[in-house]
Amino acid sequence: MANISDVAKKANVSVATVSRYLNESGYVGKKSRAAIECAIKELNYTPSEVARSLSTKQSDLIGLIIPDIKNPFFPELARAVEDTAFKYGYTVILCNSDENVEKEQHYLQTLSKKYVAGIILTSIIDSDKHNNEFNIPMVALDRPLDLDIPTVTTDNQKGSKLGTDYLIQSGATSILCLTGPTTLSSTKLRLDGFLQAIEGRQIETHIIESPYDFEAAQQIVFEYIQGHPDINGIFAFSDASAIGALKAAHRLGKKIPEQLQIVGFDGTQMGEVVTPSLTTVAQNIYKLGEAATEMLIQQIEGKTILNVSKCIDPQLYIRETTRKEST
pLDDT in tens, 174-197: 999 999 999 888 999 999 999 999
| One domain, residues 105 and 250 | no
CA distance 9 to 13: 6
Task: Give residue-wise pLDDT tens across range 74-107.
Answer: 999 999 999 999 999 999 999 999 988 899 989 9
- The string of pLDDT tens digits covering residues 139-175 is 999 987 766 789 999 999 999 999 999 999 999 999 9
**pLDDT, tens digit (0-9, with 9 covering 90-100), for 5-53:** 888 899 999 877 887 788 776 788 889 999 999 999 999 887 655 455 5
Cα–Cα separations (whole angstroms), residue 59 to 92, 93, 105, 111: 11, 12, 21, 11
Q: What is residue 284's predicted lDDT score, i.e. its pLDDT?
A: 97
Spatial separation of the C-alpha atoms in residues 216 and 38, rounded to whole Å: 63
- Average pLDDT for residues 62-82, to the nearest whole number? 95
Q: Which residues of 75-86 are buried (b: 16+ CB within 10 A; e: fewer)?
A: bbbbebbbebbe
What is the C-alpha to C-alpha distance for residues 58 and 65, in angstroms, rounded to an integer?
19
Q: What does the pLDDT read at residue 60?
A: 85
Separation between Cα atoms, residue 124 and residue 170, nearest integer Å: 34
Final residue before a domain boundary, out of 32, 56, 80: 56
- 33 and 92 housed in the same domain: no
- Cα separation, 271 vs 248, in Å, equals 16
Q: Buried (b) or exposed (e) across 122-159, using 16+ Cβ within 10 A?
A: bbbbbbeebebeeebbbbbbbbbbeeebbbbbbbbbbb
Between 8-12, 280-284, 302-306, the lowest mean confidence (pLDDT) is in 302-306
Question: Is residue 94 domain-resident?
Answer: yes
Are 177 and 127 part of one and the same domain? no
Q: Are residues 199 and 276 in the same domain?
A: yes
- Judge whether 206 lies within some domain: yes
Tell me, what's the pLDDT at 145?
A: 73
Cβ partners under 8 Å of residue 304, min gap 6: 298
Rounded to the nearest integer, the mean pLDDT of the chain is 89
Let me know whether 279 and 307 are in one domain. no
Distance, in Å, from the CA atom of 160 to the CA atom of 165, rounded to the nearest integer, reads 8
Quick one: 290 and 191 in the same domain? no
pLDDT above 90: residue 120: yes
- The verdict on residue 200 lying in a domain is yes
- Our CA angle for 49, 50, 56, nearest 5°, is 85
Q: Classify residue 320: in a domain, yes or no.
A: no
CATH number at 110 reads 3.40.50.2300
Would you call 283 exposed, middle or buried from its count of C-beta atoms within 10 A (0-12, 13-18, 19+)?
Answer: buried
Q: Is-above-0.75 flag for pTM? A: yes
**Residue 214 contacts residue 247 (beta carbons within 8 Å):** yes
CA–CA separation, 309 and 120 (whole Å): 14
Same domain? For 140 and 167 the reply is: no
Q: Are residues 289 and 146 in the same domain?
A: yes
CATH label of the domain that carries residue 15: 1.10.260.40
Q: Which domain holds residue 252?
A: 156-283
Both 177 and 268 in one domain: the answer is yes
Q: Tell me, yes or no, whether 139 and 203 share the same domain.
A: no
Distance of CA 59 to the CA centre of its chain: 22
What residues pair up with 266 in beta bridges, in sequence order? 282
Amino acid at 286: Y
Query: What pLDDT is stored for residue 146 in this prediction?
Result: 62
In a domain, 194, yes or no: yes
Domain match, 160 and 66 both: no
Say how many domains are in the chain. 3
Measured over all CA atoms, what is the biggest interatomic distance in the chain, rounded to whole angstroms?
86
Q: 196 and 279 in one domain?
A: yes
Q: For residue 327, is it within any domain?
A: no
Task: Give the model's pLDDT for residue 133.
Answer: 63
**Residue 135, pLDDT above cutoff 80:** no
**Burial track 203-233 (b if 16+ CB lie within 10 A, e otherwise):** bebbeeebbbbbeebbbbbbebbeeeeebbb
CA distance 87 to 56: 23
Give the integer Cα–Cα distance in Å for 179 and 192.
Answer: 11
